[in-house]
Amino acid sequence: MKKNQLGQSDLYVSELTLGCMSLGTDTQKASEIINQALDTGINHLDTADLYDFGMNEEIVGDALKGKRDQVILTTKVGNNFDKAKKDWFWDPSKEHIKEGVKESLRRLKTDYIDFYMLHGGTIDDPIDESIEAFESLKKEGVIRAYGLSSIRPNVIREYVSRSTIDGVMMQYNMLDRRPEEEVLDLLHENNISVLARGPLAKGMLSNSAVKQIEKKGQDGFLGYSFNELKLIQQTIAEQFNNEPSFNALALKYVLQHPAVATAVFGASSISQVTDNTNFNTSKTLTDETYEGLRQITKPMKYAKHR
């Protein structure tokens, strides 16, 4: 599988990333899913300290025993949580970031994290303090690179101008084209990579699109009505059936923009990993197909407060 440089770091991530949030709490099953992903050429796993209140990191750490050197490992910080009470609050302070990384290292059973992200962010955060924490961890060799997980353009712009982030994770798919309007070009111009999460739009752009639209699209999705979602699915099925699958089409769409280094998909079964990897990622969409998809979906902008 093709690998892309993450920002200006020395990290090279596969064009597809396994997002580990959906792995569940069955350690054996999760390990099998991770192994399947690695066998297909995926080298990048994404988790977060908050997922299952630390258990997700523990499961990923167990699955990577003896394989740590084969993987680019990403996790996130910023949610100060109490596992016993299953409660948390937003905390982007330097103190919490530096304490949080110690706990993540322990749960992941590793002595370094490849890519460490702030798991959210607001314009009212002590941004310079957060940046100072990440820079300190990078200098200490605890992390190799850092970034931001956010869909807030105003926050992203602050980090672009004030930090040395190498990547930003954000929701991006052919139904949610908001990043195209405000941040993709900005990040590309500054050599900052995008990690596109939600590329299948809750499964509504997957091989099971019909079922998922009926299940999750009854109240619409962003600016699309239920009927519009059904029409888009029907149009794709009729006009763009030269691709191996709906999954392939959706994943290739987000990978088409030069800012995007990897598409992050979740999986709760081996079959879902197979569905998302059973195509040649390095074979891009034709210009005609790419523009055709853009014609049947909507350009969108984030709310002004973002």
Whole-number Cα distances in Å, 153 to 110, 171, 184, 282 = 33, 12, 10, 29
Q: Quick one: how far is CA 140 from the chain centroid?
A: 26
Buried/exposed code over 214-230 (b: 16+ C-beta within 10 A; e: otherwise): eeebeeebeebeeebbb
Q: Quick one: how far is CA 246 from the chain centroid?
A: 19
What is the DSSP-derived secondary structure letter of residue 226? Answer: H
Whole-angstrom Cα distance, residue 70 to residue 116? 17
Choice among 51, 146, 224, 253 that is catalytic:
51
74, β-bridge pairs: 46, 115
Counts for the chain of helices (H) and strands (E), in that order: 12, 12
Coil, helix or strand at residue 19: strand
Token pair 């009470």: residue: 85
Q: What angle do CA 138, 61, 88 make, to 5 degrees?
A: 75
Whole-angstrom Cα distance, residue 201 to residue 265? 10
In the residue annotation, 159 being an active-site residue is answered as no
Residues designated as active site: 51
